[in-house]
Structure 1
Amino acid sequence: MTGDRLGWRACLLGGAVFAVCMTGTTLPTPLYPLYQQKFGFSELTVTVVYAVYAFAVIGALLLVGNASDAVGRRPVLLWGLVCAGASAVCFLLATGTAWLYAGRLLSGLSAGLFTGAATAYVMESAPPGRASRATFVATAVNMGGLGCGPLLAGILAEYAPWPLHLPYAVHLTLVACSAAVLLWLPETVGDLRPLRTVRPQRPGVPPHVRAVFGPAATAAFVGFALFGVFTSVSPAFLARYLHVTDHAVSGVVVATAFFASIAGQTAVGRVGVGRSLPLGCAGLLAGLALLAGALHWDTLALVVPSALVGGVGQGLAFRGALAAVGRASPPDQRAAVISSLFVVAYTGISVPVIGVGLLTEPLGLENAGLVFIACMAALVIPAAGYLLRRPVPAEA
């Protein structure tokens, strides 16, 4: 087998393991209404449970986001799978909200361990000269895994028995298979150092990367903020205001946004990183406008287009940001810089989600969503203008 084929096999298998881990992070999304019925908690609790995940991701990225640069990618990814498996066990045993918090905390730790290390692994495993394609694989499996979570859980919850248990049992099986694959895959870090050399990192990037990192991180923040609110509150909106109680439909609507992101990512190679970032912001703005219409007029006919358009915009911005930052970073700091980008992105997921949850009680879910949309639009418009004036120099 040629070196190129071996490299692509490791790249794709590493991507498959990445997808399995990310699937677990969105698995509870269409199940939150069922948990609300079972445990009797409010919409604020849903958003806090979701935000616990995001804060755990940020904590893991800050504490050990650069660990795989020292100890290797595989050990960090194995620990990520351990956390993913433990999260599934918490949901399987859940008898109250404390189990949900624990499960989301462990899920966040798994994502925090995976994001930087797995992205770097996929990019490094690809044959020389194929950085663009490897970047697409890394971003596509990330978003594809996030989309598969609500799709899998929604279908199983609607058409199979044990809706609050079977999805996690399936995921636990996939995690075990992924661990076996990961043990077989080669390591991509050559100069390994002991774990004691790893130090917690503050958010930051090398000086020569900052010109690329700033605008890329801005676009990533807005894109992940839209996804964060969409995945945390859309099932409740569909059930409460649109009377959509089919869990499979709820899962498909949420998954549509993530799969549309992959479609947006495929366009980056054609339009270039410099144009993909402002175009992504434009797509996000259009998706926000459609979502505002869906909330205002209570219509499913605008929810799906908002997921599609916003997802494409997020995909353009996300892959463009990751490509620009990854290419500008030195190899021995790549995972750390990518982790810093994800710190910004997951801050976008967590803070707006909590804000929506706090506003839901006094304003209602619809009005809270409209306030969120107005705030995100206030970020998107100047970000797009900045990126048009100072386009990112890297190419995908």
Structure 2
Amino acid sequence: MFAVCMAGTTLPTPLYPLYQEEFGFSELTVTVVYAVYAFGVIGVLLLAGNASDTLGRRPALRWGLGFAAASAVCFLLAEGLGWLYAGRLLSGLSAGLFTGAATAYVMELAPPGGAARATLVATAANMGGLGCGPLLAGLLAEYAPEPLLLPFAVHLGLVALSALVLQWLPETVADRRPLRAVRPGKPALPARVRAVFVPAAVASFAGFALFGVFTSVSPAFLVRHLHVDNHAVTGLVVALAFFASTAGQVAAGRVGPARSLPLGCAVLFAGLVLLGCALATDLLAFVVLAALVGGTGQGLAFRAALAAVAAASPPDRRAAVISSLFVVAYTGISIPVIGVGLLADPLGLEGAGLVFIACMLVLVASAGAYLLRRARTGTPGG
């Protein structure tokens, strides 16, 4: 169920070039359509971040599936940009509800002694689902009829099946309250957390920004500059980044957060360099390597950032601090992506991408240097 919901958020990715042909919009519009999703996620985190703790897991996930179904319907009925904006916003609302609630639900449904395995399952469902979205859409768009309809019809069917599965699952929240008890959550950053939070947030922002730019503009880059007109290949290239992130998160659990965060920054730096090489040389091999290396670095850095911030937070403020980290991360999916879209017209897609990469390299290098300096001086939290 978790994987199905997350797959819907990336389902349109390999289809953006087709939408551009259908509706005749610019690269800036593509990035804005993509970024609307992040605004939906951030809105849920700020306004209803505690929804599943208050209402119960099943009601919150039922709402999430409802938003996912409504998103698919918007894409099925799409006759202009307004439908795409609505579909992406609803998809963001769905993901915002699912990310926290479904992760907690998987852990709570795990058998005794299965906490570590449940964490891995939740991670794989989240990032693996994100990877399956473009892969499924690319395959259907290339080898089946109605490329702008069939992927969303299939997803709508999977959402309906997930709703049936949800009916069979037990509720794990004992103290449930009515909808009016859901309160907006304020991002929190206690003084003792700031030294750990800043590098973790910078690395998370850069990692999510890489994902955002890669998934929003790489399909157009592959089509226009590399002449890759196979939608299945486009979907696979994007999917590789999410699958690599899953592998990076698994590796972070073994390496430990203290070493995974600086290591993740280094690998993320290498992924950005490879993406720059891809833009400069127009070679598919560099695009694939950027997806694999950048995705691995993002997975390493984000899981380590999440663990480090959670460990440094006071128990009574932990949820608010983690929500703050997610807000920063999803801001990385929106603002830089729109920035690339704005620069694409005067500089071209390649030039805009190189400017983005230069900015992200500075951020990642700064975070990595800060972490190494703290490690050498033995500062707590480094």
- TM-score band, normalised by the shorter chain? over 0.9
Q: 1:5 is matched with which residue?
A: none
Query: Residues 186 and 320 of structure 2 are in contact (CA less than 8 Å); yes or no, is this contact kept in structure 1?
Result: no
Q: 2:361 is matched with which residue?
A: 377
Q: 2:283 is matched with which residue?
A: 299
Shift of 1:355: 0.2
Matched, 1:252 2:228: no
Q: 1:273 is matched with which residue?
A: 257
C-alpha separation in 2, matches of 1:157 and 1:142 = 23
Matched, 1:75 2:63: no
Query: Residues 286 and 309 of structure 1 are in contact (CA less than 8 Å); yes or no, is this contact kept in structure 2?
Result: yes
Shift of 1:18: 1.2
TM-score (normalizing by structure 2): 0.93
TM-score (normalizing by structure 1): 0.90
* Consecutive unaligned residues in structure 2, runs of 5 or more: none
Residue identity in the other structure for 1:81: L
Match of residue 50, structure 1, among 34, 55, 64: 34
Shift of 1:299: 1.0
Alignment of 1:61-140 (within 5 A): 61-128=45-112, 130-140=114-124
Residue identity in the other structure for 2:235: G
Give % identity. Answer: 78
Shift of 1:206: 5.7
Residue identity in the other structure for 1:135: T
C-alpha separation in 1, matches of 2:181 and 2:192 = 24
Alignment of 1:337-352 (within 5 A): 337-352=321-336
Relative to structure 1, the CA distance from residue 183 to residue 323 in structure 2 (aligned partners, 3 Å threshold; closer, same or farther) is farther
Relative to structure 1, the CA distance from residue 192 to residue 19 in structure 2 (aligned partners, 3 Å threshold; closer, same or farther) is same
Residue identity in the other structure for 2:128: G
C-alpha separation in 1, matches of 2:312 and 2:120 = 16
Q: Residue 78 of structure 2: SS of its match in structure 1?
A: coil
Query: Residues 66 and 336 of structure 1 are in contact (CA less than 8 Å); yes or no, is this contact kept in structure 2?
Result: no
Relative to structure 1, the CA distance from residue 343 to residue 92 in structure 2 (aligned partners, 3 Å threshold; closer, same or farther) is same
Q: 2:176 is matched with which residue?
A: 192
Shift of 1:339: 3.2
Residue identity in the other structure for 2:173: V
Q: 1:10 is matched with which residue?
A: none
Shift of 1:372: 0.2
Q: 1:151 is matched with which residue?
A: 135
Residue identity in the other structure for 1:24: G
Q: Residue 192 of structure 1: SS of its match in structure 2?
A: coil
Match of residue 205, structure 2, among 199, 221, 235: 221
Shift of 1:311: 0.7
Shift of 1:129: 5.0
**More off after superposition, 141-150 vs 114-123:** 114-123
Shift of 1:132: 3.6
Residue identity in the other structure for 1:300: L
Relative to structure 1, the CA distance from residue 331 to residue 168 in structure 2 (aligned partners, 3 Å threshold; closer, same or farther) is farther
Residue identity in the other structure for 1:241: H
Query: Residues 280 and 313 of structure 1 are in contact (CA less than 8 Å); yes or no, is this contact kept in structure 2?
Result: yes
Q: Residue 291 of structure 1: SS of its match in structure 2?
A: helix
Relative to structure 1, the CA distance from residue 114 to residue 340 in structure 2 (aligned partners, 3 Å threshold; closer, same or farther) is farther
Query: Residues 187 and 320 of structure 2 are in contact (CA less than 8 Å); yes or no, is this contact kept in structure 1?
Result: no
Matched, 1:161 2:145: yes
Query: Residues 188 and 317 of structure 2 are in contact (CA less than 8 Å); yes or no, is this contact kept in structure 1?
Result: no
Q: 2:272 is matched with which residue?
A: 288
Shift of 1:325: 4.1
* Consecutive unaligned residues in structure 1, runs of 5 or more: 1-16
Q: 1:21 is matched with which residue?
A: 5
Relative to structure 1, the CA distance from residue 324 to residue 125 in structure 2 (aligned partners, 3 Å threshold; closer, same or farther) is farther
Residue identity in the other structure for 2:16: Y
Q: 1:318 is matched with which residue?
A: 302
Relative to structure 1, the CA distance from residue 119 to residue 206 in structure 2 (aligned partners, 3 Å threshold; closer, same or farther) is farther
Shift of 1:335: 5.3
Query: Residues 139 and 319 of structure 1 are in contact (CA less than 8 Å); yes or no, is this contact kept in structure 2?
Result: no
Query: Residues 117 and 335 of structure 1 are in contact (CA less than 8 Å); yes or no, is this contact kept in structure 2?
Result: no
Shift of 1:200: 1.0
Measured on the aligned residues, the alpha-carbon RMSD in Å equals 2.2
Q: 2:188 is matched with which residue?
A: 204
Relative to structure 1, the CA distance from residue 134 to residue 210 in structure 2 (aligned partners, 3 Å threshold; closer, same or farther) is farther
Query: Residues 69 and 336 of structure 1 are in contact (CA less than 8 Å); yes or no, is this contact kept in structure 2?
Result: no
**More off after superposition, 177-186 vs 346-355:** 177-186
Q: 1:242 is matched with which residue?
A: 226
Query: Residues 69 and 333 of structure 1 are in contact (CA less than 8 Å); yes or no, is this contact kept in structure 2?
Result: no
C-alpha separation in 2, matches of 1:95 and 1:393 = 55
